[in-house]
Amino acid sequence: MERILNQEEIDELLAAFDEGEIDARLAEEPEAGKDNQQPVSSGEKYIAGIDLTRGQNYSKWRIANLDIVFNSFARYYSIAVTNILQQGITVKKGEIISRFFEDFLSNLENPGVLGAFSMDPLKGTGLFVLDKNLCFGLVEVLFGMSAGSDFAIPDREVSAIETNTLRSLLSEACRVFNRAFAALGHLNTSIARLETNPKMVNILAPDTEVIQVRFTAQLSTLEGEIMMVIPYYSLEPFKEKLRDEAVMWDEGKKENKWARQLEKELAQMEIPVSAVWGQMSLTIQEILGLETGDIVSFDYDEAHPISVLAGEKPKFCGEPGVRGGKKVVRIKNKVVTGD
């Protein structure tokens, strides 16, 4: 009886052709000693045997350089959320895998808020998932709680009010994804709806293959997970463009250009510089007892160099003097610190 390939083996075979691991052209001559090559006619053309038992994680990197887009998203989203919360948050990209949408939903753990988003002009709908720990913690921070506080995670579902509170952060994720995707094409993503129950998320057919990306988010003592899910067929039109590394590295060149401009601007910023001859400590009672004409003596050794501060940081050691009737400081050497 002739063996029939299952869906997984068919997908693996197609992926191998896409990645160039199997040459679709027929060879002109057989290689000596190869038993797995059979003539297709009385002529000289042969076809090569195919090993369908090679690994099952065929889809993990079916789209080359896709991780560059998600790395950019993580970096941009860290900055965007930090600006919203006014507290530092770090978002890092984790694993990228391919699976069926039904498998993704059935294995979803600790979901808090699920935000379905459109990807105009691309086909299909994507999904952002914030886990419960992150949801409850971000709501507290949005309402003024310090990120360094101890977060109490309640044993319940995220409420409708809390869900709406988090909409702004998910909308910002859409805007950031547009920017990360800009090297490939223009996107106009937006949140279509929010859910807290995975069973209500019927945005894709169960057997739709999706790209699942995990991100870890850390806000002081708060740690959580963000997941992004995108249908494979939405990204498939960009496979060839993603293989062109020059297109992707152009985005990196733009970021380097911005970094150089920022460095140039920082070099023009003004900062107060002060020379400290001496320091002393007084009690509050002694300060309150000071009157006009009182003399406060500092333990200052003229042979010892004074500290020259940039802002509040000591940067140089100097030698005091007088020039043109004004007090001056001659820079002697640079202060070496561990910063």
Instruction: Count H helices and E strands in the chain, helices first.
Output: 10, 12
**Residue 176, CA distances (Å) to 18, 27, 77, 171 in order:** 30, 47, 6, 9
Note whether 43 and 156 are same-domain residues.
no
Note whether 196 and 216 are same-domain residues.
yes
Instruction: Provide, rounded to the nearest whole percent, the portion of the chain with pLDDT above 90.
Output: 27
Condensed to tens digits (0 to 9), the pLDDT of residues 145-185 reads: 876 677 777 888 999 999 999 999 999 999 999 999 888 88
Note whether 170 and 241 are same-domain residues.
yes
Q: Is residue 106 part of a domain?
A: yes
Note whether 20 and 80 are same-domain residues.
no
Choose among 181, 187, 188, 18: nearest CA to 98.
Answer: 18
Condensed to tens digits (0 to 9), the pLDDT of residues 227-259 reads: 999 998 888 888 777 776 555 555 555 556 666
pLDDT at 83 over 70: yes
Choose among 54, 61, 47, 65: nearest CA to 12.
Answer: 54
Q: Is residue 80 part of a domain?
A: yes
Q: Is residue 127 part of a domain?
A: yes
Q: Is residue 61 part of a domain?
A: no
Note whether 248 and 329 are same-domain residues.
no
Q: Is residue 339 part of a domain?
A: no
Mean pLDDT within 271-283: 83
Residue-wise DSSP of 159-210: PHHHHHHTHHHHHHHHHHHHHHTTTT---EEEEEEEES-GGG--SS-TT-EE
Total domain count, the chain: 3
Note whether 118 and 252 are same-domain residues.
yes
pLDDT at 76 over 90: yes
Q: Is residue 52 part of a domain?
A: no
Which contacts qualify for 102-109: CB closer than 8 Å, 24 or more apart?
102/206, 102/207, 104/210, 104/212, 104/229, 105/198, 105/199, 105/201, 108/198
Residue 128 sits in a domain of what CATH number? Answer: 3.40.1550.10
Note whether 254 and 286 are same-domain residues.
no
Cα 33 from Cα 44, distance rounded (Å): 16
Note whether 182 and 318 are same-domain residues.
no
Mean pLDDT within 99-107: 91
Note whether 304 and 208 are same-domain residues.
no
Amino acid letter, residue 107: N
| Domain carrying residue 20 | 7-47
147 token code pair: 């990120």
Note whether 118 and 215 are same-domain residues.
yes
| Residue-level pLDDT at 268 | 80
pLDDT at 1 over 90: no
Show Cβ contacts of residue 167 under 8 Å, excluding neighbours closer than 6 positions. Answer: 115, 191, 194
Enumerate the β-bridge partners of residue 275: 308
Note whether 226 and 124 are same-domain residues.
yes
Note whether 18 and 89 are same-domain residues.
no
Q: Is residue 56 part of a domain?
A: no
Q: 132-142 vs 66-85: helix axis angle to the nearest 10?
A: 40
Condensed to tens digits (0 to 9), the pLDDT of residues 11-59 reads: 777 766 665 556 555 434 444 444 444 554 555 555 545 444 433 444 4
Q: Look at the alpha carbons of 277, 283, 284, 287 in this order and tell me if their dihedral is positive or negative.
A: negative
User: Which range has the top average pLDDT, 205-209, 239-243, 332-336?
Assistant: 205-209
Write the Ramachandran bin of 249: left for phi over 0, alpha for psi from -120 to 50, otherwise beta.
Answer: alpha
